[in-house]
Amino acid sequence: MDCVATGGNVKVLAKAIHSLSRIGEELYLEPVEDGLALRSVNSSRSAFACFLLSPLFFQRYQAPSDQSFRCKMPIKSVQAVFKSLASLDRSVEKCRIQLNSEKSRLTITLHCKHGLLKTHNLSYQDCESLQAVFDKGSCANVLQAQPRLMVDTVLHFPPSLEEVNLSVSSDRVWLRNHVEDDADSSRAMLTELCLSSEEFDHFAVGSQTSVTFCLKELRGLLVFAESSGLPVSMYFDEPGGPVILSVTDSVLEANFVLATLSEDSPDSEQPPDDFMSDNMDSFLIAMETSELPGLSHVPTSPPRPTNNNRKHSFSEEEEEEEEALAEGPPNKKFCSLFFGSVLPTPSQLPNQTMQSQEMLASDSEDENQTETS
């Protein structure tokens, strides 16, 4: 792979890297025929971002002969190469990205003024393809606005705010901070903004609904959109479905896919695990990836001791475990977009349940034999 970006495209590339750093800790790089794909996913698999830079974006673009090549690396190491965005305009004339598969090194060379070269050799790991499958055309609600409007709206919320609620009607949009159900309403600060449909470049609402999603990822895309002057499009349906934020140009395309809070049924009980209980059929996100952090199995109950002097401690230990579970994190029911690599297969769950039951039965038999003796 050999890519060369010149002029203002070097800063656009740097802005894309900085936007992806707000999503996850690893950068997935995949050169394809359509261009260079830069992707990232957060640790909870609830946010995915992708930048596709077409061959026209580069002065020279040469994809590797091995079309199956893809790699990942810590995004902080790549971000350090473009850490000073202000100096890129003043000093950097072009950026060259080369791949050395023999040494497993990605070489980024910055050609600065007066013949100065800055070379960075970054190590990488081979990985599987990271791709989220979504259909923006099937979404009932589509909003498009200039980035300045979105930035001015988001500025009214404090930087510490994690989630924001978006509601739409036939002619208006409401944006408010999300407050937990168990929060004290007398101490919570409520912020709400109302935007008319006339303020948007495109306003199409097929379903009046309300969705809640994380604000951090939205800020990351707005920083990139404002610097490039590209309008931001938003696609969404019902709560529990993804919110897709898109920025498109003739030489690049950026898509941010964010999970939303799913509504609780009033007659249903609160599930013990938000990722296990989410209704994912409505927006199945297909994914193939490897070595992503996350749950790889469902832990089984540990075997209980068989000594007589520990009989009375069983109930106390069980009560402590139940209290620990009750004091766990709040059940927010954020739908995981990438549950395929996190959750175990359904065939594994019954086997683990049977193993847990067999251990409990074995311990009971041991206790009965001890009491009889």
pLDDT in tens, 67-124: 778 888 999 999 999 887 777 878 888 999 998 877 788 899 999 888 889 999 998 8
- Identify any residues that bridge with 196 across adjacent strands, giving them in sequence order: 172
Give pLDDT, residue 243: 92
Joined together, the tokens standing for residue 206 give: 């097929």
307 falls within a domain? no
Q: Are residues 148 and 253 in the same domain?
A: yes
155 falls within a domain? yes
Domain that holds residue 200: 141-181+188-261
Q: Are residues 50 and 109 in the same domain?
A: yes
- For the chain, what is the domain count? 2
Rounded CA-CA distance 226/277 in Å is 38
Q: Are residues 146 and 101 in the same domain?
A: no
The answer to whether 49 touches 93, Cβ cutoff 8 Å, is: no
Q: Are residues 162 and 106 in the same domain?
A: no
Of 99, 38, 33, whose CA–CA distance to 63 is shortest?
A: 33
Rounded CA-CA distance 150/130 in Å is 29
209 falls within a domain? yes
Could you state, in chain order, the average pLDDT of each consecutive group of 10 residues for the chain (373 residues)?
Answer: 90 92 91 90 89 94 80 91 80 89 86 89 83 82 93 87 90 85 64 90 91 89 90 92 92 92 50 39 41 40 44 44 46 46 40 41 46 46
The 10 Å Cβ neighbour count of residue 185 is: 8
Planar angle of CA 22, 44, 326, nearest 5 degrees: 130
Q: Are residues 122 and 145 in the same domain?
A: no
Give pLDDT, residue 174: 92
Q: Are residues 154 and 243 in the same domain?
A: yes
Given 240, 261, 282, the domain boundary residue is 261
Residue 115 falls in which region: left (phi positive, over 0), alpha (psi -120 to 50) or beta? left
Model confidence pLDDT, tens digit, residues 204-248: 999 889 999 988 889 889 989 998 889 999 999 988 889 999 999
94 falls within a domain? yes
Of 37, 34, 32, whose CA–CA distance to 13 is shortest?
A: 37
Give the distance, in angstroms, between the CA of residue 147 and the centroid of all CA atoms in the same chain: 21
Give pLDDT, residue 235: 95
Give the distance, in angstroms, between the CA of residue 205 and the centroid of all CA atoms in the same chain: 26
319 falls within a domain? no
> What is 10-53 written as a DSSP string?
HHHHHHHHHHHTTT-SEEEEEEETTEEEEEEE-TTS-EEEEEEE
Q: Are residues 87 and 154 in the same domain?
A: no
Q: Are residues 63 and 174 in the same domain?
A: no
The answer to whether 348 touches 298, Cβ cutoff 8 Å, is: yes
Rounded CA-CA distance 73/78 in Å is 8
Give pLDDT, residue 161: 85
Give pLDDT, residue 103: 78
Give pLDDT, residue 370: 46
The 10 Å Cβ neighbour count of residue 75 is: 21
Query: What are the distances in angstroms from CA 322 to CA 21, 118, 127?
Result: 37, 57, 39
Q: Are residues 121 and 51 in the same domain?
A: yes
Token pair 């203002």 is at which residue?
Answer: 8
CATH label of the domain that carries residue 104: 3.70.10.10
The answer to whether 143 touches 175, Cβ cutoff 8 Å, is: no
Q: Are residues 42 and 69 in the same domain?
A: yes
Q: Are residues 92 and 150 in the same domain?
A: no
Give pLDDT, residue 182: 59
